[in-house]
C-alpha cells in the first residue's frame, strides 16, 4: 500500500467509518492486509488499533482484531496498548471488549502507567469497576511512586475514591517518591469531598509531611483552598504554623503563590503573625511576595499590619527581594509606599541588584 492509502486508512479509522475502511483493506492483497496489521504511524508509533481504541470505535476495534488479525497487545512508541488508549479516554465499551478478549489488565506503558491509572484520570466509575473486576491492581505504582489512588484523589470524584477503598481498604497507605500522600494530592487540588472521605476512613496522621516538609494544610492554603484548609483544621487538628524543611510556614508559602484570601484567613482568622520569620533566613511573607512580584499580595500584607521595613538575616528588605526577582511594578509600588533603598549586610543596595532594563528605569526615574 502506498502512503496516501495508509493515511486514508488512518483518517477512516479515526472518524469511525467502518464500511469504507473494510472496502479499502479488502481491495488489497494479503501482503497489503499484513502491512495494515503491523503498520506503525508517525512519531507516536500508533497502529490503526490504537486510533480505533482512542476514539472509542468499538466496531472498528472488533474488526481489526477479529478480521484483520491485529494483536491487542501491540505497543506504540510509549508502550501504550489499545487498552491504555481506551481507558485514558473513558471508552467503557472498548475497555470491556478488550478485557473480555483477554487483554492484559495491568500492562505498563512508558513511566509504568497502568490502564487503571489512566482510567482514574477520568471520572468513569463503571469503567474503573470493570478494570477492578478483571483483577486490576490498585496498589501498583508508576515511576514517580503514584498509584491510581493518588490520581483518583487528584481528580476529586468521591464515588471513585470510595470504590477503590472498598476494593482495597488499605490502598490509602501509599506515598509517592517525594513522600506525598493522596491526602496531600486531594488538599492541593481543593477536592473537599475527597478530603472528607480520607479524614473519615483513612488513618493519616495530622500534619503528615512530604520530603520537603509540606503538610496537606500547607498545600490547601498555598493553593487558595480555604474550605479544605478549614476542614483539615477542624477534623484533623492541622497546624497553621507548621514548618517545612526550609523553615517556612503556611503564611510564607501563601505569600509565594500570592493567595490574598488565604493570607487574610491565616492572619485575621487564625491569628498567625503576619511578620512571622522563617528559621535561619529570617524571611517574612512580605519578602516572599516581593520576590515573586505579587504586588497585590504586598498591599494585602500591609493592610494586615506587615512591617514594610522589616529585614531578613542578610539585612535585605522587600525592595531587595523585588529587585532580585526583577519585578519592575513591585519595585515601583514599594518605592511609592515609602520604602527607601538601603544597603544590605554586604553593602549592596536594591538598585545594584536591578538587571532588567525596566527595573533599572524605575530607579532612574525616581519611581
Rounded-to-integer distance, Cα 359 and Cα 325, Å: 10
pLDDT tens digits for range 203-227: 999 999 999 999 999 999 999 999 9
- pLDDT at position 367 is 56
321 found inside a domain: yes
Q: Which of 137, 154, 173 is the last residue of a domain?
A: 137
Split at pLDDT 50, 70, 90, the class of 184 is very high
- pLDDT at position 28 is 74
- Of residues 30 and 306, the one with the higher pLDDT is 306
78 found inside a domain: yes
316 found inside a domain: yes
pLDDT tens digits for range 220-269: 999 999 999 999 999 999 999 999 999 999 999 999 999 999 999 999 99
167 found inside a domain: no
224 found inside a domain: no
CB 233 within 8 Å of CB 256: no
Q: How far is CA 124 from the centre of its chain?
A: 19
- pLDDT at position 32 is 74
250 found inside a domain: yes
Rounded-to-integer distance, Cα 329 and Cα 295, Å: 7
Q: Which of 86, 111, 137 is the last residue of a domain?
A: 137
Q: Span 65-94, mean pLDDT?
A: 97
Q: Span 62-72, mean pLDDT?
A: 96
362 found inside a domain: yes
270 found inside a domain: yes
What's the domain range around 114?
A: 1-137
- In the predicted model, what is the mean pLDDT of the chain? 96
Split at pLDDT 50, 70, 90, the class of 306 is very high
Split at pLDDT 50, 70, 90, the class of 155 is very high
- pLDDT at position 366 is 73
Q: Which of 114, 137, 160 is the last residue of a domain?
A: 137
- pLDDT at position 26 is 87
Query: Are residues 1 and 133 located together in one domain of the fold?
Result: yes
The residues, any chain, with a CB within 8 Å of residue 357's CB and separated by 6 or more, are none
Residue 100 has pLDDT above 90, yes or no: yes
pLDDT tens digits for range 126-153: 999 999 999 999 999 999 999 999 999 9
The residues, any chain, with a CB within 8 Å of residue 58's CB and separated by 6 or more, are 91, 93, 94, 97
Split at pLDDT 50, 70, 90, the class of 27 is confident
What is the b/e burial string over 320-351, where b = at least 16 CB atoms within 10 angstroms of the residue's CB?
bbbbbbbbbebbbbbbeeebebeebeeebbbb
Rounded-to-integer distance, Cα 16 and Cα 81, Å: 19
pLDDT tens digits for range 272-303: 999 999 999 999 999 999 999 999 999 999 99
Tally of domains in the chain: 2
The predicted model scores a pTM of 0.93
- pLDDT at position 121 is 95
Give the CATH number of the domain where residue 51 resides. Answer: 1.25.40.20
Amino acid at each position: 500500500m502506498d502512503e496516501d492509502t495508509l493515511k486514508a486508512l488512518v483518517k477512516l479509522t479515526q472518524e469511525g467509518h467502518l464500511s469504507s475502511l473494510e472496502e479499502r483493506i479488502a481491495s488489497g492483497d494479503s501482503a497489503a492486509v499484513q502491512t495494515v496489521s503491523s503498520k506503525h504511524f508517525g512519531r507516536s508509533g500508533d497502529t490503526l488499533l490504537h486510533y480505533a481504541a482512542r476514539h472509542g470505535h468499538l466496531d472498528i476495534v472488533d474488526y481489526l482484531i477479529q478480521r484483520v488479525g491485529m494483536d491487542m497487545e501491540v505497543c506504540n512508541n510509549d508502550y501504550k496498548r489499545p487498552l491504555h488508549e481506551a481507558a485514558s479516554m473513558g471508552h467503557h465499551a472498548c475497555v470491556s471488549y478488550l478485557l473480555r478478549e483477554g487483554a492484559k489488565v495491568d500492562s505498563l506503558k512508558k513511566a509504568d502507567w497502568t490502564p487503571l491509572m489512566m482510567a482514574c484520570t477520568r471520572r468513569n466509575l463503571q469503567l474503573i469497576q470493570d478494570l477492578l473486576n478483571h483483577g486490576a491492581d490498585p496498589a501498583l505504582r508508576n515511576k514517580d511512586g503514584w498509584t491510581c489512588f493518588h490520581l483518583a484523589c487528584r481528580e476529586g470524584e468521591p464515588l471513585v475514591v470510595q470504590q477503590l477503598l472498598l476494593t482495597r481498604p488499605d490502598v490509602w497507605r501509599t506515598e509517592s517518591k517525594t513522600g506525598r500522600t493522596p491526602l496531600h494530592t486531594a488538599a492541593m487540588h481543593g477536592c473537599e469531598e475527597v478530603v472528607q472521605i480520607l479524614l473519615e476512613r483513612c488513618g493519616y496522621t495530622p500534619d503528615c509531611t512530604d520530603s520537603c516538609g509540606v503538610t496537606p494544610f500547607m498545600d490547601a492554603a498555598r493553593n487558595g483552598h480555604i474550605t479544605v484548609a478549614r476542614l483539615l483544621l477542624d477534623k484533623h487538628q492541622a497546624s497553621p504554623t507548621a514548618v517545612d524543611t526550609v523553615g517556612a510556614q503556611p503564611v510564607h508559602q501563601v505569600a509565594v503563590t500570592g493567595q490574598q484570601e488565604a493570607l487574610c484567613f491565616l492572619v485575621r482568622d487564625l491569628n498567625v503573625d503576619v511578620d512571622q520569620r522563617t528559621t535561619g533566613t529570617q524571611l517574612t511573607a512580605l519578602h516572599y511576595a516581593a520576590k515573586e512580584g505579587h504586588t497585590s499580595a504586598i498591599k494585602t500584607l500591609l493592610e494586615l499590619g506587615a512591617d514594610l521595613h522589616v529585614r531578613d538575616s542578610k539585612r535585605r528588605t522587600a525592595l531587595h527581594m523585588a529587585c532580585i526577582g526583577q519585578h519592575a511594578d513591585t519595585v515601583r509600588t514599594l518605592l511609592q509606599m515609602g520604602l527607601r533603598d538601603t544597603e544590605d549586610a554586604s553593602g549592596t543596595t536594591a538598585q545594584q541588584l536591578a538587571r532588567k532594563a525596566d527595573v533599572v528605569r524605575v530607579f532612574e526615574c525616581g519611581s
